[in-house]
Amino acid sequence: MSIAGFATFCIAYLIAVATPGPGVAAVIARSLARGLQGVVPFIAGFLVGDLLWFAAAAGGLATLAHTAHMAFVVVKYLGAAYLLYLSYRLWTSPAASLAPQASPEQSAGQLFIGSLTLTLGNPKTMIFFLALLPSVVPLERLRLAGYGEVALAIVVILPLTLGAYALVAARARRLLVSPRALRVLNRSSGTIMAAAAVAVATR
């Protein structure tokens, strides 16, 4: 893979990851509500989901995506349902302090599966890897090393980008310490989650 081709992919992928969508909304809303607690498994689910979509595109499975349309629809609605569940949790959670033990937390496995499901059913991610990626990277001419380079770029770019969003949101959360402000923050985050769920379900 040429340097120019690799740079083109990195720029296109960075823009795709950084552009606000259901995934970015989920990371921001969760970090606003919970800080950096559980952010690693949450982002890991997005990462594995993107790697799976890349593997599908690399394996020439764009046709399968069309023939197995119903399966993708089911996954999409599962992702939307997960966001609605998070929204409900945020709306109903008490205005507790910022202490880690102050509110019940999902397990690392639940966070990972939730964000993985969201990624696999996210139309934005699906379109990038199955429709746009082949126009950016000539997958049919890539060798094994080229696939490794693309996968490595995904492993670096996605966690850094989503991690930056999470850090900014977590810092903003620390500025709000009163119960009233935390209640407003939780419900605002829940509203963002619900809006992201609608975006996923209606695309």
Q: What is the pLDDT of residues 51-91, one digit of tens each?
A: 998 888 777 655 555 555 565 566 567 666 766 776 676 67
Range of the domain at 82: 3-179+186-202
Q: How confident is the model at residue 99 (pLDDT cuts 50, 70, 90)?
A: very low
Counting the structural domains of the chain, the total is 1
Q: Which helix (H) or strand (E) holds 75?
A: helix 69-92
For all residues of the chain together, what is the average pLDDT? 75
- Cβ within 8 Å of residue 149, ≥6 positions away: 1, 6
3-state secondary structure of 138: coil
The C-alpha atoms of residue 120 and residue 66 are separated, in whole angstroms, by: 14
Q: Of the spans 5-9, 95-99, 176-180, which averages the highest pLDDT?
A: 5-9
What is the secondary structure of 78-130 as a DSSP string? HHHHHHHHHHHHHHHS----S-GGGS----HHHHHHHHHHHHHT-HHHHHIII
Q: What is the pLDDT of residue 154?
A: 94
Min mean pLDDT across 27-31, 110-114, 136-140, 145-149 is at 136-140
Position 152: which residue type? L
Q: What is the average pLDDT across 30-34?
A: 80
pLDDT tens for each residue of 153-175 = 999 999 999 999 999 888 877 76
Q: How far apart are the C-alpha atoms of 40 and 192, rounded to whole Å?
A: 21
Q: Read off the tokens for 186.
A: 């939780």
Pair of tokens at residue 196: 């992201």
* Digit-coded pLDDT (tens) for 186-203: 666 667 667 766 665 665
Q: Is 169 helix (H, G, I), strand (E, B) or coil?
A: helix
Closest CA to 50 of 137, 129, 131: 129
Q: State residue 45's pLDDT score.
A: 93
Q: What pLDDT band is residue 137 in, cutting at 50, 70 and 90?
A: confident
